[in-house]
Chain A
């Protein structure tokens, strides 16, 4: 599966990654090479195989419904690039 420049632009947008225009082609070529590697999977027939998402066959543990957290806003917002009145600020969102 060869990945073209326009594919790179499309997935970079999906992933909200800014990439330099002059790098698009080299990404396309790298990603294409990786996909050639990935394509090797087609060697094996997996039609009856149940997909495996986790290495261990376990089921989800459930947490008792109790409030364990208290207000840690100040500590948690120390890493925030822009805050005001306890809110995280972002460029204006238009619905």
Chain B
């Protein structure tokens, strides 16, 4: 059951092989059974979920609904859910229950999906290892001594361990793709503006984008289809019809040109990972794709530019957490300054504080031009590089991350080395392009991800390439050892 595709699960629901209530209970049982080790789900929605599943069963019985009706899923705890705590992985919001629901969650709910709970994440989505959460770190089901990646590490680990068929994620610098790669699942971050940011707690507003995490490109396509679309509550949402992401999945990729940026295939790339990615590229070549080397001359500046833009935006975005209207408030503040400093000092963890401080620093008087403005200029250069590249190629391929999942604690004390684990993914956010990660093999029994980058609003083509690749390979079907068994009821 746990390894069935969405289409298969939906068919089972329609054939009455199983009800949505049973399916939800099945995955809730898996969460209870397996998540003690993983710590991927931090809030359960069991009661409400089962009543929604009941509704879904009625819809299905009456012949209504769609592919997602009655399908259980998990949401990253960055999406506000009315009536269910939204913590963003932070002590700051440990007691926060939003009186509204994020648009993306709402759309999935309207499509009939059943939210089982909320997944763990790096605090305020700041991290690449899921070690900065107030609720403790998440473990990688492929090796409990390694990290699942971040910041959507809870969602990635949960899907990898088959605790839910689908989970939402958000991606500011690689936070869907890198954990998808580390956990051996498929994750897609669409074009900036494709999925509404309303109700998604902001980290860096011009980079944040919600997306889908699933076992396969096909499942991710179904989920992303429901999440996408124009939202008048989000000024940066794009008023453009959403393509049919499923219709073209089966198209041949013959004649498509796939670009390999030479800057991503240097000797610095781990040789084993390079081999897996090249093998994946060969597979696509055998399916008729043309392969072409390209150059993204300024891409090596994406991490430096990102660590100005993202902290600058986050430093302002997180100012609203001041202990006045919601969130953590310190005990008996003696004056206003004390209220602010202690509430924020106690409510935020170290990494969040570091980024707020970097942001305040690069925006402060005398440094704006040297850092913030410079980063915005570099950002344009990076975008232009991609725009040029997409004149020659349809899709760009690379490794998703420079390494496989690293050991827990390995980079915790070294922010810069942690930041560099997003070296291949960050440029995509700066440019606002769609990107995804698909499993393409294993190194030392740890999954390797291939990143695919598409042109603006070409999610359908990206998913088509990924799906065709997954027709040729079955890396995406691999389940970590120990999790193939059924949960004891």
Contacts and interface: CB of A to CB of B under 8 A. Distances in A.
Direct contact of A and B (CB under 8 A): yes
Interface of A: 3, 7-8, 11-12, 14-19, 27, 30-31, 33-44, 46, 49-56, 58, 60-61, 63, 72, 75-82, 88, 90-93
Contacts of B433: 55
Contacts of A11: 357, 360-361, 364
B374 interface: yes
B261 interface: no
B387 to A, nearest CB: 11
A27 B377 CA distance: 28
Contacts of A30: 354, 415
A61 B323 CA distance: 32
A42 B303 CA distance: 13
B339 A90 contact: yes
Interface string B18-35: 000000000000000000
Given A37-B304, A80-B325, A81-B323, 15 more contacts: A7-B361, A15-B315, A15-B357, A16-B322, A30-B415, A31-B354, A34-B416, A46-B377, A46-B378, A50-B380, A51-B379, A52-B380, A55-B207, A60-B235, A75-B99
Contacts of B380: 49-52
B336 A51 contact: no
Describe B's contact surface by its main secondary structure. helix
A54 B308 CA distance: 14
Contact of B335 (A7, A8, A82, A91): A91
A90 B336 contact: yes
Interface in B239-255: 239
24 contacts: A8-B357, A11-B360, A12-B353, A16-B341, A17-B348, A18-B345, A18-B346, A30-B415, A34-B354, A38-B362, A39-B304, A41-B374, A44-B378, A46-B381, A55-B207, A55-B430, A56-B432, A60-B235, A61-B235, A63-B232, A72-B99, A79-B325, A88-B324, A91-B334
B192 A55 contact: yes
Nearest to B315: A15
Interface residues of B, number: 73
Given A17-B341, A55-B432, A81-B329, A50 B346 contact: no
Interface string B348-361: 10000110111111
A50 B206 contact: no
Nearest to A93: B336
B475 interface: no
A88 to B, nearest CB: 5
A92 B339 CA distance: 11
Contacts of A90: 324, 336, 339
Interface in B160-180: none
Contact of B356 (A15, A35, A60, A81): A15
B400 to A, nearest CB: 20
B357 A79 contact: no
A55 B431 contact: yes
A90 B235 CA distance: 32
Contacts of B431: 55
B256 interface: no
A7 B340 CA distance: 19
B357 A41 contact: no
Given A34-B307, A51-B377, A78-B99, A58 B337 contact: no
Contact of B239 (A12, A18, A61): A61
Contact of A34 (B315, B327, B358): B358
Interface in B307-351: 307-308, 315, 319, 322-327, 329, 333-342, 344-346, 348
